[in-house]
Amino acid sequence: MRYLLILLFVFGFIGVKQSQAVECLPSCDRDDSRFLEIAGTGLSTIAGAEIIVNLVSNGDNLEFSIFDGEAAGLWDVFGGPAIEIHLQFQLFADPTGDSSGLGGIPLAIWTSDGSFGINAGQPMPDNDWVDFSFPNTNSALSIPPALGDFTYTLHVTPIDPMLGGMTSNVFKVRTAEIMYVPAMTPVTFISNISGDTAETQIEALNIVYPDADADLLTNSFCGMPPGVICDLNDPSCCLFETTYDGTWSFFMEVPAGETELFVWDGDFDYGDLAGTVFDTNDPNTPGDPFLPSWSIGTDVVFQTARPAVPHDNNGDSSIFFAVRDPNIQYFLISPEGDSYQNFNPSGDREWELFKLSTLTNDPAVAEYMVDNIPGGLWEVRIIGLDISNLNSILLPFDLRGEIIDPPEPVPTLNQWGLIALAVMGLFVSIFYLRRKRGTEING
């Protein structure tokens, strides 16, 4: 008996590492066609050819992953080998957590094509994750208040910033710790079905539409005759099931006591092909000669009533597989679930301001007057974003992407051991009490 108790006691203190939450920008699913994007000069952009992401580390090493970092194959818009957009991922110490460390010297560089940097000779994979690890350094020690012990900025830019053409490089970022786009920093995103060959385009289409059995060479789907397509809104259609439903979610942690909260949306291309839905002159966004500071030097235009290029809902959603209903719009959702709708976001190559205010109901200042702006995690939820429509967004607080919490914990080995030890102790106590009482009675 005493040996069993010893084993239970030892077993009770054997631990198992708990699962961690995972954060991704913009999402973690490798098949959902949601990406960050850096485009060539042949594609109009209003946020510059860069992505800025801050990474927080609490361990011995900074750990993060890149999905589909290479410049061709699946998902990327391919303009030919001469104009592939190869990227460099430069890591900077950023102890203040606001990307001000970009003025320093890079601590490390990784390249999508493996042409130089820490991964020289090892290009990033196509349609897959690659993991990177970098020893934490004292220069990145966070200055309170901070989200962790060490803070870095990952600055993603083209190796050749002057590379033109109708081409782009799309990718995702993942970490098991904390990641965010710093406050007041624009980020560009897209849903893409593309590839560098007809075969990779078909592969991408079959990923997003897993039952499609698509063959673009013959323009056929699901074994139907070429050119014939079923109603995509019909559940029995082989194109009804999709990994991309047109929705996006971004998050920001808002402190208590704010009197206003806003979102800048850029190049959302609000306006359908039929001309029944169109962008209007936004009353609380300045027009000519105003341009947002972060957009100067890009393809941005002055805010006014703008067309859509490409049109949102560019055709009938029942027959065009890139269309996502409804017309693009988004909601700003409070921690309590209160929702504020922007049903007329930006048109082509412009930025528009969407604002809540506790101080005024003047439409020239804010779309909504609210009683208060509660602190906590707010969500920007976009719906109806068509495939292949490039968009940008900017938030006043750090922008977070998808956060996947670990599964509900089950008792670990040490917890099961302690439970077993407690149960065994109870039975042993009962056994000895009964034995003692029996001895007393017999005595």
Tens digits of residue pLDDT in 41-85: 667 789 889 999 999 999 999 999 999 999 989 999 877 666 789
Question: Which H or E run includes 436?
Answer: helix 413-442
Looking at the structure of the chain, the number of domains it has is 2
Same domain, 394 and 369: no
Same domain, 69 and 179: yes
Indicate whether 332 belongs to any domain. Answer: yes
Indicate whether 418 belongs to any domain. Answer: no
122 pLDDT band, cuts 50/70/90, is very high
Indicate whether 435 belongs to any domain. Answer: no
Last residue of a domain, one of 331, 359, 377: 377
Same domain, 398 and 372: no
Task: Give the pLDDT score at 410.
Answer: 54
Q: Is the dihedral of CA 140, 146, 147, 148 positive or negative?
A: positive
Indicate whether 291 belongs to any domain. Answer: yes
Indicate whether 346 belongs to any domain. Answer: yes
Indicate whether 433 belongs to any domain. Answer: no
Task: Give the pLDDT score at 215.
Answer: 82
Same domain, 398 and 345: no
Same domain, 186 and 323: no
424 pLDDT band, cuts 50/70/90, is low
SS3 assignment, position 117: coil
Same domain, 26 and 138: yes
Report CA-CA distances (Å) from 47 to 162, 262, 291, 387. 15, 18, 12, 19
Decide if pLDDT at 14 tops 50.
no
Last residue of a domain, one of 377, 396, 429: 377
223 pLDDT band, cuts 50/70/90, is confident
In whole numbers, what is the pLDDT of the chain averaged over residues? 88
Close Cβ partners of 430 (under 8 Å, ≥ 6 residues apart): none
Same domain, 295 and 402: no
* Residues β-bridged to residue 376: 254
Same domain, 32 and 121: yes
Summarised one tens digit per residue, pLDDT across range 242-264 is 999 999 999 999 999 999 999 99
436 pLDDT band, cuts 50/70/90, is low
Task: Give the pLDDT score at 407.
Answer: 65
Of residues 161, 319, 340, 348, the one with CA closest to residue 261: 340
Task: Give φ, ψ of 44 to 5 degrees.
Answer: -70, 130
How far, in Å, CA of 112 to CA of 87, rounded?
Answer: 5
324 pLDDT band, cuts 50/70/90, is very high
Task: Give the pLDDT score at 220.
Answer: 86
pTM of the full structure: 0.87
Q: In this structure, are residues 325 and 318 in contact, taking their beta carbons and an 8 Å threshold?
A: no
Close Cβ partners of 35 (under 8 Å, ≥ 6 residues apart): 26, 68, 75, 170, 171, 172, 189, 190, 191, 192
Last residue of a domain, one of 356, 377, 398: 377
Task: Give the pLDDT score at 4.
Answer: 45
Task: Give the pLDDT score at 72.
Answer: 86
222: left (phi over 0), alpha (psi -120 to 50) or beta: left
Same domain, 32 and 159: yes
How far, in Å, CA of 347 to CA of 440, rounded?
Answer: 92
Same domain, 135 and 284: no
The mean per-residue pLDDT over the stretch 146-154 comes to: 92
The region of weakest confidence among 13-27, 158-172, 281-295, 384-398 is: 13-27
Strand arrangement of the beta sheet that strand 108-111 belongs to: 108-111, 87-93, 150-158, 51-57, 178-180
Q: In this structure, are residues 415 and 19 in contact, taking their beta carbons and an 8 Å threshold?
A: no
Task: Give the pLDDT score at 214.
Answer: 85
Determine how many CB atoms are found less than 10 A away from the CB of residue 131.
Answer: 9
Task: Give the pLDDT score at 226.
Answer: 87
The region of weakest confidence among 108-122, 142-156, 175-189 is: 142-156
Task: Give the pLDDT score at 405.
Answer: 83
Q: In this structure, are residues 206 and 78 in contact, taking their beta carbons and an 8 Å threshold?
A: no
Place of tokens 């604002």: 355
Indicate whether 300 belongs to any domain. Answer: yes
Same domain, 400 and 328: no
Task: Give the pLDDT score at 83.
Answer: 78
Same domain, 115 and 42: yes
Range of the domain at 312: 258-377
Task: Give the pLDDT score at 145.
Answer: 79
Where is mean pLDDT largest: 167-171, 177-181, 414-418?
177-181
The mean per-residue pLDDT over the stretch 21-31 comes to: 96
Taking the alpha carbons at both ends of the chain, their separation in whole angstroms is 26
Decide if pLDDT at 147 tops 80.
yes
Pairing verdict, β 376-383 and 248-254: antiparallel
Summarised one tens digit per residue, pLDDT across range 271-289 is 998 889 999 999 999 999 9
Buried-exposed string 36-72: b where 16+ CB fall within 10 A, e elsewhere: bbbbbbebebbbbbbbbbbbbbeeeebbbbbbbbbbb
The region of weakest confidence among 32-46, 115-129, 259-273 is: 32-46
Decide if pLDDT at 21 tops 90.
no
Indicate whether 436 belongs to any domain. Answer: no
Task: Give the pLDDT score at 369.
Answer: 98
Q: Two tokens at 123?
A: 């290009």
